Structure 1
Amino acid sequence: MTLAHIAAKQPLVHCMTNTVVTNFTANGLLAIGASPIMADAMEEAAHITSIADALLINIGTIQAHTVEAMHAAMKSAKAHHKPVVLDPVGAGASRYRIETVRALLTHGVTLIRGNAGELAAIAGVTWSAKGVDGGDGEADVAHIAKTVAKAHRCIVVITGEEDVVTDGETVIHVAGGNAQVTRITGSGCLLSAIVAALLASCDGTLEQIAALLAQYKEAAVNANGFAGTYAVTFLDALQQLSEVDV
């Protein structure tokens, strides 16, 4: 019933996300009944966050001025008790990215959603990542997730062939999905935005988050076609699941 929570609440999600995925993210939120707003100007970031129901911070295409605005938005979210989801895209790809992530984390977040390579970078674990892709490593993914969750007192979601959700103590694994979803840009970024919408719509328990991840994987299975068509049918599948869930 997690998509039903979102459809019923119709939350406004402030998405400070990367330029590659803005359209896909906005359309994905609209498909499930949420409302996106995207404001990364320093002059309005804090105010928009104060009137939104949740904040998404995605570092995919960060620049100095957007990082400054993200800090202002996160301070506003903390002051107004709004849930914050951090998507540390490519955190291990450069020193600038990981230093930015560490600085943003000082404000506190509700949830971190990323792939194994990104969370390994935050945990300081050796991992062979390729740009923003998850890459490969020998460390235990659940252990990495628990380490980061405990260190930052938040929920951690690591997505991949099998998703991992943890609060640092309890761990839930979510299997399923379709590898074709990795062939389109923005599927992970959209998921982070939808998780933010969920946190604005219900208690945000581990079980609710895991159920949402299962629905997202179900949409990936229900979509079809090659990359171009698949991206469109994936949004269709999300909307269909949302309406059925309601």
Structure 2
Amino acid sequence: MTITSADLGVALDALRARVPLVHSLTNIVSANFLTNVLLAAGASNAHIDNAHEAGDFARIAGGVLVNLGTPDDGTAVAFTAAAEAAHDAGTPWVLDPVGVGGLAWRSSLAADLLKFRPTAIRGNASEVIALAGLGGDTRGVDSSDDPAAAVPAAVALLQHAEVVSASGPVDHLVGHDADGGLLGVRIGGGSAMLPRVTSTGCSLGALVAAYLAVAETPLVGLAAAHAHVAVASEIAEAASSGPGSFAVAYLDALYSLDAATLAERVVLDTFDIAEIR
């Protein structure tokens, strides 16, 4: 089987119908904008990153995001508690390995979190390569690698996760289709304005967690989140004149996008992973 644009539209309708609650353990830079993105897209958010409550809440949330943007000793304990609880409860959870590869402590933390088998790993190409142990060069939250180059690393990470995505000008996703076969998906389009507004990448990770709570398969959920962002950002760019107006227009576009428009505008194709590996 494969994934079609119609599948992504079905996932969007499911998101709006079920309004999943995301438990986000994210960085101090992104919390506000991330919450607004989830609310605009059709989900909701609870930002609970203390070690006393993170595990308990991860068990009852629709999906969980663990984002390593600004970790400290306390949040590291909360990350571990939430990841372990989500794994035990069957709650889908997303690992966003921000800055992994460039900083030793957070890289070790990310490696430790893999034992709780994230449903999805979402990062830029350099972070995906670094997390898989294949080298790579990270520069803060920027990526110096092309997403296509990260496909072998993403496939290697499937031993720890159900699906993996490397973001960039064309997002590359890997996982399994409904029949269990290995499948690669590309999501093109999007806007060059996205990197000009803080938290667009972090909020994508949260949106992935929301879609994982409602989609038919993890790969459909991952693809739907990437497609929602790509199409909404294109609509927002056409209605804006700079980063400030883009941020507002982006929230509006996430909110107003419907399944038919998503299916019509998404740039989607699948690829044979063996050809790239």
Instruction: Specify if TM > 0.5.
Output: yes
Question: Given the alignment of the two structures, is residue 78 of structure 1 paired with residue 87 of structure 2, yes or no?
Answer: yes
Q: What residue number does 1:92 align with?
A: 101
Q: What residue number does 2:15 align with?
A: 6
Unaligned 5+ segments in structure 1 are none
| Partner secondary structure for residue 14 of structure 1 | strand
* Counterpart contact for 2:208–2:222, Cα < 8 Å: yes
| Partner secondary structure for residue 65 of structure 2 | strand
Q: What residue number does 2:193 align with?
A: 180
Q: What residue number does 1:214 align with?
A: 227
Q: What residue number does 2:265 align with?
A: none
| Partner secondary structure for residue 179 of structure 1 | coil
Instruction: Tell me the amino acid that sits aligned with residue 103 of structure 1.
Output: D
Q: What residue number does 1:164 align with?
A: 172
Q: What TM-score does the superposition give when structure 2 sets the normalisation length? A: 0.83
Q: Distance in 1 between matches of 2:163 and 2:146?
A: 22
Q: List per-residue Cα deviations over 1:211-240 (Å, max 9, x = no partner).
A: 432231111111122111111111111001
How do 1:59-70 residues align onto structure 2 when only pairs under 5 Å count? 59-70=68-79
Count of residue pairs brought into register by the alignment: 245
Question: CA RMSD of the aligned region, Å?
Answer: 2.0
Residue 242 of structure 1: how far off its partner (Å) = 4.5
Question: Given the alignment of the two structures, is residue 204 of structure 1 paired with residue 217 of structure 2, yes or no?
Answer: yes
Residue 3 of structure 1: how far off its partner (Å) = 2.1
* Counterpart contact for 1:42–1:72, Cα < 8 Å: yes
Instruction: Tell me the amino acid that sits aligned with residue 67 of structure 1.
Output: A
Which ranges of 4 or more aligned residues in structure 1 deviate by more than 3 Å?
136-139, 242-246
Instruction: Tell me the amino acid that sits aligned with residue 156 of structure 2.
Output: T
Tell me which of 163, 168, 172 is aligned to 1:155. 163
Unaligned 5+ segments in structure 2 are 1-8, 177-181, 263-277
How do 1:6-155 residues align onto structure 2 when only pairs under 5 Å count? 6-136=15-145, 140-149=149-158, 151-155=159-163
| Partner secondary structure for residue 57 of structure 1 | strand
Q: List per-residue Cα deviations over 1:132-173 (Å, max 9, x = no partner).
A: 211137982222211222x31420011100111112731111
Task: Describe the shift of the 1:14–1:245 C-alpha distance in structure 2 as closer, same or farther (beyond 3 A).
Answer: farther
Residue range with higher mean Cα deviation, 34-43 or 203-212: 203-212
More strand by share: 2
Q: Distance in 1 between matches of 2:94 and 2:77?
A: 17
Q: What TM-score does the superposition give when structure 1 sets the normalisation length? A: 0.93
